[in-house]
A and B are shown apart, each in its own frame.
Chain A
Amino acid sequence: MRGLAFAARSLAVLLLAAFLLVPQRFAPLFEPFTEYGAPPIYDQGSLLGLAVAHLLLVFAATALSALVAVGLAVFVTRPSGAEFLPLSRTLVNIGQTFPPVAVLAIAVPLVGFGLVPTLIALFAYGLLPIFENTVAGLRSCPPAVLEAATGMGLDRRQRLYTVELPLALPLLLEGIRLSLVVNIGTATLGSTVAAKGLGEVIIAGLLSNNTAFILQGALVTGLLAILLYDAMGGLERRILGALNVGGGA
């Protein structure tokens, strides 16, 4: 089973790398999806460049979401911030339920076209899973452990950093992973407002009625999401194992 998973993973990585580095080699594969001699492989820019830009955009947005969501989650689980929990929950829920396209539509008149409105949309969209998971993680710390920590003389900061956050980490990381993967897909929308990313390939395909382009954009994005999900899982196990929390022990 393990060997099979490893083989599938390696194959996916190799396939993706090969396609991004030498896309022209795959031309025969995509030929049947074109009409009237249209180019079978996206030719209006480097696929590798677009993929890297796409990833960077998603990483930046998720990092920002994580920073804000974790900070907020810590705040509302302190006694002083408890009354802000419903409000915070409403805010991050709006971030999730408000369609990213709508966020783009609102953000563009305010901040112009390009990277920034996309960053805002992805940031808002990624808050909820990280916030809710971190709150759940912090709340799942056994009361006896917290009582013992305080009873031994840890101050609030020490208790947060040495007990609560390490114990909440499995759920927190799971939230980040979820956010990251969802945003890989969502980020393709950024290309409608001229943010560099894999959405460009899909949109170019839609505009020129070239199914091959659409397929390429979608496949690369999908593969990236799957591989990233997988890689994050491995990273999580490593971090948790090193800290001996969650399933790591």
Chain B
Amino acid sequence: MIELQSLTKRYGATTVVDAVSMTVERGTVAAIVGTSGSGKSTLLRMINRLIEPSAGTVRIDGRDTAGVPGHMLRREIGYVIQGHGLFPHRTVADNIGTVPGLLGWERARIAARVDELLALFQLDPGLYRGQFPHQLSGGQQQRVGVARALAAGPSVLLMDEPFGALDPIIRDKAQADLLAIQRRFGTTVVIVTHDMDEAFRLGSRIGVMTGGRLLQFASPTELLTRPADPFVERLTGTADRALRLLSLTTAASLVEPGSGECTVPAGATLREVLSELLWHRAGAATVLDESARPLGRVTMERLCAHGRPG
């Protein structure tokens, strides 16, 4: 759990982050969005004290971080940046083993952890362990970057535009991997992004920042249905907000008995179901579970009702 209390950063007379308070519950993903210069990166970097706060407190799992030396604190917090920042002169294994090495783990334990993480990120340890970053593709480098941040099993992972440099297909995969791994380890994640789709896909809650202030920190649904500020509405966009809302719920949650004219998987979002229905000019779609057994159907009517709840 991360608790920020009136966290502030001033450079001379300019206030870059202005008394931000928020609580990120354990095992959830907080996505921070905002325009450039909104202070979102500064906020993130104050959590691991890459930037020293001017005022306010940061508590991680109940402990005030101000009492811990910065570099010691950072060894306990995973950190991923855009452009991965892998050490070009170190092998993949050495890169991933950096923090465990700093923490004084035994060699055998580090090696085992490296292999475990490589396998988890679908990189064959035997093949990739000894390779150098420049021998990997962009997507692989990025995965090694995330693996490196998770190496010592941190309870908190901070990410600053981690997928910004990836092409859409690899980014999609990277986001899915991140969610899977985040659920598996129960990591608390704070991710800074300027990509609204990314924020809505990853964030359990989304924080909107502008001019150093946190305007709203709420669930994606609440952000869309009850924006606290006109800026929030502007940033999330109003043109496709109904679709965004639909994309937050899966087909499984709207299933009712019956069958339809086309089929969708249970994990599909309502937005995808809508698209299928429109495409097939259908009034209802049959929802299939993982082994392709019909669970029931989703009708256009119920879908439409879901476009603006409350």
Give residues in A with beta carbon < 8 Å to B: 142, 144-155, 158, 163, 166-167, 243-245, 249
Are A151 and B88 in contact, CB atoms less than 8 angstroms apart? no
Closest 5 CB pairs of A and B: A148-B85, A153-B75, A151-B79, A153-B74, A144-B85
Q: Are A152 and B74 in contact, CB atoms less than 8 angstroms apart?
A: yes
Given contacts A166-B89, A244-B132, contact A151 B84 (CB under 8 A): no
A119 to B83, CA, bound (A): 47
Which residues of chain B come closer than 8 Å to A245, judged between CB atoms?
88-89
Complex Cα spacing A96 to B301, Å: 83
Bound-complex Cα distance A142 to B85 (A): 8
Q: Please provide the chain B residues from 70 to 116 with a CB less than 8 Å away from any CB of chain A in the complex.
A: 71-76, 79, 81-90, 98-99, 102
- Assess whether B302 is interfacial by the CB under 8 Å rule: no
A48 to chain B, nearest CB (A): 41
Cβ 8 A contact of A152, one of B84, B90, B134, B148 = B148
Task: Name the residue among A145, A148, A152, A166 with the largest chain B CB count within 10 angstroms.
Answer: A152
Q: How many B residues face the partner with a CB closer than 8 A?
A: 27
Contacts of A154 on B, CB cut-off 8 Å? 71, 98, 102
Q: Is the CB of A144 within 8 A of B82?
A: yes
Is B50 engaged at the interface, CB distance under 8 Å to the other chain?
yes
Shortest CB-to-CB span from A152 to chain B, Å, is 5
Min Cβ gap B47→A in Å is 11
Q: Does residue B269 face the partner (Cβ distance < 8 Å to A)? A: no
Q: Quick check: A152 and B75 within 8 Å, CB to CB? A: yes
Would A249 and B50 count as touching, CB distance under 8 A? no
**Are A152 and B98 in contact, CB atoms less than 8 angstroms apart?**
yes
Which residues from chain A contact B73 at a C-beta distance below 8 Å?
153
B132 touching A249 by the CB < 8 A rule?
Answer: yes
Q: Which residues of B contact A153 (CB under 8 A)?
A: 71-76, 99, 102
Within 8 A of A (CB), among B147-183: 148-149
CB pair A145 B88 closer than 8 Å: yes
Give the CA-CA distance A214 to B84 in the complex, in Å.
Answer: 59
A167 pairs with B89, CB closer than 8 A:
yes
Question: In the complex, what's the smallest C-beta–C-beta distance from B292 to chain A, in angstroms?
Answer: 44
Q: Is the pair B134, A249 in contact by a Cβ cutoff of 8 Å? A: yes
Does B132 contact A144, Cβ atoms closer than 8 Å?
A: no
B149 nearest CB neighbor, chain A only: A152
Q: Which residue of B lies closest to A158 (CB)?
A: B102
Give chain A residues whose Cβ lies under 8 Å from the Cβ of B75: 152-153
Q: Closest residue to B103 on the A side, CB-wise? A: A153
Q: How far apart are the CA atoms of A163 and B148 in the complex, in Å?
A: 16
Pair B84/A148 contact, Cβ less than 8 Å: yes
Other A-B contacts than A150-B50, A155-B71, A167-B89, 15 sampled, CB-CB below 8 A, are A142-B85, A142-B88, A144-B85, A147-B50, A148-B86, A149-B85, A151-B48, A152-B98, A153-B72, A153-B75, A153-B76, A153-B102, A154-B71, A163-B87, A244-B90
A63 to chain B, nearest CB (A): 25
Partner of A144, one of B50, B83, B134: B83
Report the bound CA distance from A148 to B158 in whole Å: 12
Identify the closest chain A residue to B95 (Cβ): A148
* Contact in complex: B102, A152 (CB < 8 Å): yes
Report which residue of B73, B85, B90 has the largest number of chain A beta carbons within 10 angstroms of its beta carbon: B85
Bound Cα distance A155, B84 (Å): 19
Shortest beta-carbon distance from A164 to chain B in Å: 11
Q: Give chain B residues whose Cβ lies under 8 Å from the Cβ of A166.
A: 89
Question: Could you name 21 residue pairs across A and B whose Cβ atoms are closer than 8 Å?
Answer: A144-B81, A144-B85, A145-B85, A145-B86, A145-B88, A146-B85, A151-B48, A151-B79, A151-B81, A152-B75, A152-B79, A152-B148, A153-B73, A153-B75, A154-B71, A154-B98, A158-B102, A163-B87, A166-B89, A243-B89, A244-B90
Q: Would you give the shortest CB distance from B228 to chain A, in whole angstroms?
A: 31
Distance in angstroms between the alpha carbons of A247 and B170 in the assembled complex: 29
